[in-house]
Amino acid sequence: MEEKIYIKPPPQQASTSTLKDPAGKGEGDDNIGERPYKRLYQTWKGGNIFVFGGRFIFGPSVISLYLTLFLLITPVVLFSLFIPQKLSLEFGHKSSIVITAVAAFFTKFDLFLLLMTSSRDPGIVPRNTEPLESEENSNGIVFPVAKDVIVNGIVVKVKYCHTCMLYRPPRCSHCSVCDNCVERFDHHCPWVGQCIGKEFRFFFLFVASTTLLCIYVFIFSLINLCKTMEVNKSNIWHAILESPIASLLIVYTFIGTWFVGGLSIFHLYLIYTNQTTYENFRYRYEKKRNPYNRGFFRNINEIFFSRIPESKNHFRAKVLRPDPITEKTSTACSTTSTAVDLEISGGKRKAVSESEMDEVKFHFDSLRGSMDNTT
């Protein structure tokens, strides 16, 4: 028998203009003040870190982002301080300026892509704040823990998330690190400290540009080492002692090129087939046709040239402060459990059309409108 879960019917919500402090005596009491408002990001239950008043959203592991910045900037600084100056003796002063300028451009572009990847909403699905009840009653609704949704003629399983209390849309998965359901979830990247979802294009460009930067530094550091051997007419070991910075950069960028270069090639394959990392590792042995693969050119257009969906969470929207008595959060981004009620037939999972899942998106859109009214 299929496992089912019970969803508590949503309570009737009062207008935000009449919600009062729970310590008050009644609506007509002149001494009653409304419950103070807070921003949504201040009451967010996920593990994210918000800065600049909720304008930037990072993952919980910000320290790893600092480490990535250190590993990216330090070798470029060493390269700019030592390598172009030595090469200027062979190629002239103007060439050293060009070499330094190109390295600086690559680095700035890389840092921009890193910021776009790590500080944006990756596609977090608004979670439901209504708790589940363990006992059934006549007013309750019973849902299966999984449903089958038809996507491009192929059946895709849709599971219920017990943490966010909603049915996850297709290609959505719950990140155990950030504690959020993320649309088009690719993976949680520890190097950028953020989930990779709808900002995948920036992540791929960041990895690819880092690969090019590593190759650039490697080539000119190797040229510097070869010129040192030529000028001093010495072997490679003496040249390494003469140019320790160049030698260190050669080893560092060689390892880095294999790492980020291999990652770039792997993600090129994922782009070619329109897969996510999560789908590739999870479903590679099931031998099912990929319902999202629309051909190379359409896949490229979807990844790089299509419009990135707006965030479904207005993190700066005003919401009521959590009620200290009921310990429930009344937020403008919450969706009721009935928003994801899927048709049940005979206690078995029934494949429903993709259009029926649009009801979930409808509630997301109505949610955004309700939040705009509170700001």
Q: Which of 189, 195, 214, 333 is catalytic?
A: 189
Whole-number Å distance between alpha carbons of 319 and 217: 50
Question: What size, in residues, is the chain?
Answer: 375
Residue 300 to residues 152, 204, 268: CA-CA distances in angstroms? Answer: 18, 12, 10
Beta strand extents in 275-338 (DSSP E only):
318-320
Whole-number Å distance between alpha carbons of 197 and 194: 9
For residue 333, indicate whether it is catalytic.
Answer: no
Q: List beta partners, residue 37.
A: 320
Quickly tell me which residue has 């690559």 as its tokens.
106
Structure tokens belonging to residue 251: 């080893």
Nearest to 15, CA basis, from 27, 5, 7: 27
Whole-number Å distance between alpha carbons of 330 and 149: 30
Give the active site residues.
189
